[in-house]
Amino acid sequence: MTIADLAMPRPAPGCVLLRMEACGICHSDLFIAGMEKPPVLPLVLGHEGIGKVEGLGEDVTSVAVGDRVGVTFLASSCGACEWCRTGRERYCPRQLNSGYTSPGVMAGFVSVPAQCLVRVPKEMSAVEAAPMCCAGWTAYRAVQEAAARPGATIAIFGMGGLGHLAVQFARHAGLRVAAVDVSEAKLALARGVGAEITVMAENAARTLQKEYGGMDAAVVVTGSTAAAGQALRSLKRCGTAVLVGMAHGPAELPIVDTVLKGITIRGSFLGTRQDLGEVLHLAAAGIVRPHVETHPLTDAPALFERLGRGEIAGRAVISF
Amino acid sequence: MTIADLAMPRPAPGCVLLRMEACGICHSDLFIAGMEKPPVLPLVLGHEGIGKVEGLGEDVTSVAVGDRVGVTFLASSCGACEWCRTGRERYCPRQLNSGYTSPGVMAGFVSVPAQCLVRVPKEMSAVEAAPMCCAGWTAYRAVQEAAARPGATIAIFGMGGLGHLAVQFARHAGLRVAAVDVSEAKLALARGVGAEITVMAENAARTLQKEYGGMDAAVVVTGSTAAAGQALRSLKRCGTAVLVGMAHGPAELPIVDTVLKGITIRGSFLGTRQDLGEVLHLAAAGIVRPHVETHPLTDAPALFERLGRGEIAGRAVISF
Amino acid sequence: MTIADLAMPRPAPGCVLLRMEACGICHSDLFIAGMEKPPVLPLVLGHEGIGKVEGLGEDVTSVAVGDRVGVTFLASSCGACEWCRTGRERYCPRQLNSGYTSPGVMAGFVSVPAQCLVRVPKEMSAVEAAPMCCAGWTAYRAVQEAAARPGATIAIFGMGGLGHLAVQFARHAGLRVAAVDVSEAKLALARGVGAEITVMAENAARTLQKEYGGMDAAVVVTGSTAAAGQALRSLKRCGTAVLVGMAHGPAELPIVDTVLKGITIRGSFLGTRQDLGEVLHLAAAGIVRPHVETHPLTDAPALFERLGRGEIAGRAVISF
Amino acid sequence: MTIADLAMPRPAPGCVLLRMEACGICHSDLFIAGMEKPPVLPLVLGHEGIGKVEGLGEDVTSVAVGDRVGVTFLASSCGACEWCRTGRERYCPRQLNSGYTSPGVMAGFVSVPAQCLVRVPKEMSAVEAAPMCCAGWTAYRAVQEAAARPGATIAIFGMGGLGHLAVQFARHAGLRVAAVDVSEAKLALARGVGAEITVMAENAARTLQKEYGGMDAAVVVTGSTAAAGQALRSLKRCGTAVLVGMAHGPAELPIVDTVLKGITIRGSFLGTRQDLGEVLHLAAAGIVRPHVETHPLTDAPALFERLGRGEIAGRAVISF
């Protein structure tokens, strides 16, 4: 992973030229950078960014020069499959993903598809808006997939970029939140943003069962099979676990318990187009606030190393 | 496992004396009989039976002498917990189960709690009604938990007592059914009751993906971890797998696929009180027909052996 | 309507003797008192009360002498119909209602069915717990029937006993609340408990459409056909109106608008057994606080007159 | 209303030139023709048609010359509002409607927006496919909005173009269907396509309540306020009425009954993009069959008169 000088991009048909203002650093960037065969080389990383439109490719009518927009991991979708037709474009089999199969936005200038760009409220700083475009968006949808009623209990596993926002979305929905992590510092951050209960990851399930009677819901935003297993075991009867974090190996699915307790397990990837607008609205209204540290691009390699060691609380964002 | 002469039971308070007419033989009987420490000894097995009320214990007002009733695995529930209060008494932590923690009904006369008995339409034969009280009930709920729209595809894994009824419930709901089993004879039975597609279990997922684009839903009514794994892999994006069969070991939960495809996995145990009435209605109306072989009680040991070897197509029912 | 000395009641089988501590005054009491043919005469009014168990009739095992319990309008339900079997006992056709077809609890001592009594947390005062048993319970369910997502807008029509609690339940669920009433004083109360928008009833629909783009949901807790009409017209496309207040005449159902905008209208009566426990929990935790004025029983006739004139903000509660 | 010679259209940008094969005649055509101020004059009617693509305007990539496509009432939607973003484009406030605010297709050649065209299976005749694009589509969605479980009862009010298809969709979903109409001939048609119960419209509610205990659901596909009122009164507790037919005057909304019975009333307009594909699939598979009479364009004025008098059973379709 290096910082390189690339040619100034020109917007292809359907694309726009963006001058980037900020871009967050995400675990998925690490996941992709670690792949044996990335789909494109050289690959520009970055998929939660805020930029200004500086030029339009052919056929672009949905945005104009001067607009301020957000870029997400969903660069484009086909618009015609059964998932696109039903507001679930995040599962489109022909989607392109920023910083993976479509150009990433951790760069000064980029050309990206216009299709999925979202307008960003003017009053938001780029540094605070950027984490909403992946961490916030994904966490928001995951909390909703838990389908828990106000007053219900929810455990959030992993207090990083997604987790500390998931706590806030859950609180806003009237849920009682238990935060789980391996780091005491991150649990302190969780308490600061509204977690009522904080539990160290080891033995989390046992603690949540014994002291709180189990959870109505659990959301796993860390890519750990151990966390997924703990989440399943932390649920009450009829509870729901939402899996978001990508863990390489499979977890154990305890069939007898799943059947006898009526447990639901659901994967959730990104969010819907409607979610994205709502997330930005909640952040602009100050209802949800990302915990951010800001850095110049030159810090990126060091930030990725810290991210890999689990040393970043909240989100690290590159400011251009 | 033996056939024994027991003392004539007397109905305790809240219980009724039943003269049994028929009782089906279920895989759960085998599961329980195989436990190292059954909760009660000696244990009378049997939890899908039809009988006539011959006597009432104290405080019983919900049924009368002469009524014909069905007995299910849910002998009683507490009535006060959050699951009982919300129509999900099947997950009550204090439930008693017929033929397990409450007396079974594979016997000439039994005393059972009155609480969960269900009235059986007079026009139904006991032998055809019995399988509805466990196999039919459980299969009906499982198909509903799949939440598939009419016209959607559903794969049913396991063509035994539950499976051949699940096929019929799914067809009645307008679903297109793929039946999966290891036995060609059972797949033939599945075709006879409405399965459009039949697939041998080995490589079922690959076949269903390749030839049919994956399934919208899958229901696993056999207690096999391999079947659970095949079911998960047979799903389309946003598909739902419902697990019903108890398999001793855990299955593998493929986290990345579950997340990227938005898969839902849900355990389902028995059914609701409302379901039970609906199942009996559908059977009385001839919309669903169990495939039944009838035997005297003396055949029970041999039937359990055949059941263990997977040699019973449909349901074996003891007629008293 | 008078205050009278009645004989000390004795608990019939299935009933308990309560020494009442508090009882709220509800619009339904007025509705019932105004009926041409009440079902029972003389009729003791009152259906949201808190009392202590002083004696048990035969067959009562669910509560014990000394327990502190709440009484709601749902005195008993049949337990066997399709609504009772599915957690919707509030629609049981054979239900009995406190202060209507079953004895009311606006009295020093009463005998009431044990079936639907709810345990009340010890730390709650009787005067604050009483309004939760009808106003709070009904408002809580109504807000849930609106099925609005966190961040959505909801208009509450009527800022009396139910309305000022509905505002708080909606806020707790992350909704943005518009309060509507004919009284400026009641709108001030609404602002005090979290309403973001307050609108005078006249032209409410026009204001909510013009200034806020319409509401995602509306809940009508006042018994006014005009309010119901305004509520329907205040909705955005795909919005939901929940009707709770009983208005004698029918409202107008605008068919073309309902179709073209995909509007949902839903009646909601009381709440579920599960809701009741949740409501008391939220109140005990201080998340929802009723606005209460306390009076001795001798004030009851005067209070009913003030209630009829719309002069009570929040809830008036009789303390025994 | 006349048959006229118009200039051969040329496809504008985003539009395609279609050579029409068939177009159904719908009550909405009458509704629009009867408006005091139609939005465009002269107005070509027609919004359920099948045609072949003969030419492409600029920027059209979603279809190709030679494709066979269906046209619906939803000519285009904005793609950006909250309804478009959530698969509910049928409620887009900026939609254009064929034969109303966008050119109709009851003509030999037309230029229509490419956006919402649907591919039609080759094996379907144009005359059988046409009614699926409005009557079938709308009826399919309406039955789904009723959200009734297999085995539940549903009354369909109005046995015209939509109604006779609604009966078939409901049957396919496992529902028990009561058909209601003023015409005995149409009720006979309903029996022929699977209605279990047929009831004359006068006193329909009373009959359905008295003889069948009320309906779980009702769908009103006729534009009659009387039918809407009957539908509401025909429901069981917790039943759902879906309103589809446009009636000029408002119906009566019985507030007390709606509240005490927990009734839901929901408007439904057209269907979703996903529905349209499913409807065509069900028709191509022969699961649903429209009852069609075929006519040349010259018959159109006479057909509209017969339609206005309620004399068309099923659907009249113009074949070009």
Inter-chain CB proximity A255 and B261 less than 8 Å: no
Q: Domain for residue C105, yes or no?
A: yes
A221: left (phi over 0), alpha (psi -120 to 50) or beta: alpha
- Quick: pLDDT tens for C192-214: 999 999 999 999 999 999 999 99
pLDDT in tens, B269-281: 999 999 999 999 9
On whether any CB of chain C is under 8 Å from the CB of D246, the answer is yes
Do C236 and C283 share a structural domain? Answer: no
Whether chain B has a CB inside 8 Å of the CB on A91: the answer is yes
Instruction: Provide mean pLDDT across the span A178-194.
Output: 97
Half-sphere exposure of C17 (CA within 13 A, CB side): 14
Among residues D276, D306, D304, the alpha carbon closest in space to that of D50 is found at: D276
Chains in touch with B (3+ beta-carbon pairs under 8 Å) read A, C, D
What is the pLDDT at residue C9? Answer: 94
The residue of chain D nearest to residue B282, with distances taken between CA atoms, is D151
Find which of A144, A145, A149, A216 to mutate to test the C interface (most C CBs within 10 Å of its CB).
A149
CA dihedral C307→C311→C313→C316, nearest 10 degrees, is: -40
Task: Examine the fold and report which residue of A240, A267, A294 is the final residue of a domain before the chain moves on.
Answer: A267
Integer angstrom CA distances of residue D85 from A281, B108, D78, D190: 16, 62, 10, 37
Cβ atoms of residues A243 and B255 within 8 Å = yes
For B86, name the nearest residue in chain C, comparing CA atoms only: C87
B positions 49-68 inside 8 Å of A (CB) = none
Helix or strand or coil: residue B72?
coil
Confidence of residue B247 (pLDDT cuts 50, 70, 90): confident
How close C87 gets to chain B, by Cα (Å)? Answer: 5
Confirm whether C258 is domain-assigned.
yes
Q: How confident is the model at residue B127 (pLDDT cuts 50, 70, 90)?
A: very high
Identify the closest residue of chain C to B82 by CA–CA distance.
Answer: C274
Nearest CA in chain D to A62: D80
Q: How many CB pairs under 8 A join A and C?
A: 26
Distance (Å, whole) CA D162 – CA A299: 64
> How far B288 CA lies from chain C's nearest CA (Å)?
21
User: Which residue from B151, B173, B281 is facing D174, i.e. has the nearest CB?
Assistant: B173
Q: Which chains touch A (3 or more CB pairs under 8 A)?
A: B, C, D
Give me the count of residues in chain B: 320
Q: What is the distance in angstroms between the Cα of D133 and the nearest Cα belonging to chain B?
A: 18
Q: A97: distance to nearest CA of chain D, Å? A: 19
Q: Are residues D129 and D166 in the same domain?
A: no
Domain count, chain A: 2
Residue in A248, A256, A207 with CA at minimum distance from that of residue A228: A248
pLDDT tens track for C149-175:
999 999 999 999 999 999 999 999 999
Say if D2 falls within a structural domain.
Answer: no
Model confidence at A36, in pLDDT bands (50, 70, 90)?
confident
Chain A's closest residue to D81, CA to CA, is: A274
- D3-53 tens-digit pLDDT: 999 999 999 999 999 999 999 999 999 989 888 888 877 899 999 999 999
B150 in contact with chain A, both atoms CB, cutoff 8 A:
no
**Are residues D172 and B174, on separate chains, in Cβ contact within 8 Å?**
yes
- Concatenated DSSP letters of A281-313: HHHHTTSS---EEEE-GGGHHHHHHHHHTT--S
Mark whether A155 and A227 lie in a shared domain.
Answer: yes
Which pairs count as long-range contacts for B2-9, CB under 8 Å and 24+ apart, including other chains? B2/B301, B3/B297, B3/B298, B3/B300, B3/B301, B4/B42, B6/B42, B6/B44, B6/B107, B8/B109, B9/B103, B9/B109, B9/B110, B9/B111
Residues paired with A56 in a beta bridge: A16
Give contacts of A247 with chain B, Cβ < 8 Å: 255-256
User: A277: domain range?
Assistant: 15-133+271-319
Each of the 320 residues of chain C gets a pLDDT tens digit; together they read 889 999 999 999 999 999 999 999 999 999 898 888 888 778 999 999 999 999 999 989 889 999 999 999 999 999 989 999 999 999 999 999 999 999 999 999 999 999 999 999 888 999 999 999 999 999 999 999 999 999 999 999 999 999 999 999 999 999 999 999 999 999 999 999 999 999 999 999 999 999 999 999 999 999 999 999 999 999 999 999 999 999 888 899 999 999 999 999 999 999 999 999 999 999 999 999 999 999 999 999 999 999 999 899 899 999 99
Contacts of A257 in chain B (CB under 8 A): 267
Tell me the DSSP string of chain A.
------PPP-PPTTEEEEEEEEEE--HHHHHHHT-SS-SSSS-----SEEEEEEEE-TT--SS-TT-EEEE-SEEE--SSSTTGGGT-GGG-TT-EEBTTTB----SSEEEEESTT-EE--TTS-HHHHGGGGTHHHHHHHHHHHT-PPTT-EEEEE--SHHHHHHHHHHHHTT-EEEEEES-HHHHHHHHHTT-SEEEESTTHHHHHHHHHS-EEEEEE-S--HHHHHHHHHTEEEEEEEEE-S--SSPEEE-HHHHHHHT-EEEE--S--HHHHHHHHHHHHTTSS---EEEE-GGGHHHHHHHHHTT--SSEEEEE-
Question: B with C: how many residue pairs have Cβ under 8 Å apart?
Answer: 28
Q: CB neighbours (10 Å) of residue A103? A: 24
Q: State which residue of chain A sits closest to C144, comparing Cα positions.
A: A149
A7 occurs within a structural domain: no
Q: Is C138 on the interface with D (CB under 8 A)?
A: no
CB proximity D237 to C under 8 Å: yes
The residue to which tokens 């072989």 are assigned: B293
- Average pLDDT over chain B reads 95
Residue B194 lies in a domain: yes
Which residues of B are less than 8 Å from A269 in CB distance? 259-262
Q: Which two tokens stand for residue A232?
A: 């399943």
Q: Which helix (H) or strand (E) holds B295?
A: strand B292-295
Percent of chain C beyond pLDDT 70? 100
Residues D261 and D301 in one domain: no
Pairwise CA distance, residues C294 & C272, whole Å: 27
Chain B residues whose CB is inside 8 A of the D144 CB are 149
Do C86 and B59 count as a contact with CB atoms less than 8 A apart?
no
Distance CA B100, CA D151 (A): 32
CA D90 to CA D93: how far, in whole Å? Answer: 9
Please tell me the predicted confidence (pLDDT) of residue A1: 83
3-state DSSP assignment of residue B151: coil
pLDDT for B175: 97
A174 touches chain C (CB under 8 A): yes
Of A140, A84, A105, nearest to A280 by C-alpha is A140
Give the confidence band of A249 by pLDDT, cuts at 50, 70, 90.
confident
Q: Return the residue of B nearest to C58 by Cα.
A: B59
D277 part of contact set with chain B, CB < 8 Å: no
A209 domain-assigned:
yes
Identify which of D91, D264, D265 has the shortest CB distance to residue C238: D91
- Considering only CB atoms, C173 lies closest to which of A144, A174, A278, namely A174
Which residues from chain A sit within 8 angstroms of residue B256, using beta carbons?
Answer: 246-248
A86/D87 CB distance under 8 A: yes
Q: Are residues A26 and A36 in the same domain?
A: yes
Residues of A in contact with B247 (CB under 8 A): 255-256
Residue to substitute from A31, A265, A270, A275, interface B, most B β-carbons within 10 A: A265
Q: How large is the average pLDDT for residues A91-108?
A: 96
Please check whether residue A115 touches D, CB under 8 A.
Answer: no
Identity of the amino acid at C270: L
- State mean pLDDT over B250-276: 96
Q: A276 and A246 in one domain? A: no
For residue D122, pLDDT beyond 90: no
CATH code for the domain of C145: 3.40.50.720
pLDDT value, residue A144: 97
D17: left (phi over 0), alpha (psi -120 to 50) or beta: beta
Residues B262-289 have a mean pLDDT of 96
Asked if D204 and D198 count as a contact pair (C-beta separation under 8 A), the reply is: no
* Dihedral angle of Cα A90, A96, A98, A102, to the nearest 10 degrees: 180
Mind telling me how many Å the CA of A240 is from chain B's nearest CA? 9
Interchain CB distance below 8 Å, D144 and B144: no
Interatomic CA distance for residues D119 and D302, integer angstroms: 31
Note the Cα C197 to chain centre separation in Å.
23
Q: Does B299 lie in the same domain as B237?
A: no
Comparing CB atoms, the residue among B62, B86, B272 nearest residue C274 is B86
- End position of a domain, from candidates D235, D252, D267: D267
Residue range B99-126, pLDDT digits in tens: 999 999 999 999 999 999 999 988 899 9
State whether B102 and B251 are in the same domain: no
Closest residue of D to B168, CA-based? D174
Is the CB of A94 inside 8 Å of chain D's CB atoms? no
Q: Tell me: do C260 and C313 sit in the same domain.
A: no
Residues 6+ apart with CB under 8 A from C115: C14, C62, C75, C76, C77
In-domain check, residue A156 = yes
Whether C252 and D250 lie within 8 Å, measured CB to CB: yes
Do D66 and D53 form a contact (C-beta atoms < 8 A)?
yes
**Mutation for testing the A interface, residue in D273, D279, D280, D281 having most A CBs under 10 Å:** D273
Check if B149 contacts D (Cβ < 8 Å).
yes
Would you give the DSSP letter of residue B90?
Answer: G
| Same domain flag for D223 and D188 | yes
Q: DSSP class of residue B297?
A: G
* pLDDT per residue as tens digits for the range D227-270: 999 999 999 999 999 999 998 888 999 999 999 999 999 999 99
Domain final residue pick, C230, C250, C267: C267
Question: Is some CB atom of chain D closer than 8 A to the CB atom of B174?
Answer: yes
For residues C248 and C293, membership in a common domain is answered with: no
Closest residue of A to D14, CA-based? A59
Q: Which chains touch D (3 or more CB pairs under 8 A)?
A: A, B, C
From residue A302, give the alpha-carbon distance in Å to each of A256, A306, A319, C196.
Answer: 45, 6, 15, 45
Same domain? C246 vs C302: no
Q: Report DSSP letters for chain D, one per residue.
A: ------PPP-PPTTEEEEEEEEEE--HHHHHHHT-SS-SSSS-----SEEEEEEEE-TT--SS-TT-EEEE-SEEE--SSSTTGGGT-GGG-TT-EEBTTTB----SSEEEEESTT-EE--TTS-HHHHGGGGTHHHHHHHHHHHT-PPTT-EEEEE--SHHHHHHHHHHHHTT-EEEEEES-HHHHHHHHHTT-SEEEESTTHHHHHHHHHS-EEEEEE-S--HHHHHHHHHTEEEEEEEEE-S--SSPEEE-HHHHHHHT-EEEE--S--HHHHHHHHHHHHTTSS---EEEE-GGGHHHHHHHHHTT--SSEEEEE-
CATH of the domain at A290: 3.90.180.10
Q: Is residue B1 part of a domain?
A: no
What is the distance in angstroms between the Cα of B281 and the nearest Cα belonging to chain D?
9
Q: Is residue B13 less than 8 Å (CB to CB) from chain C?
A: no
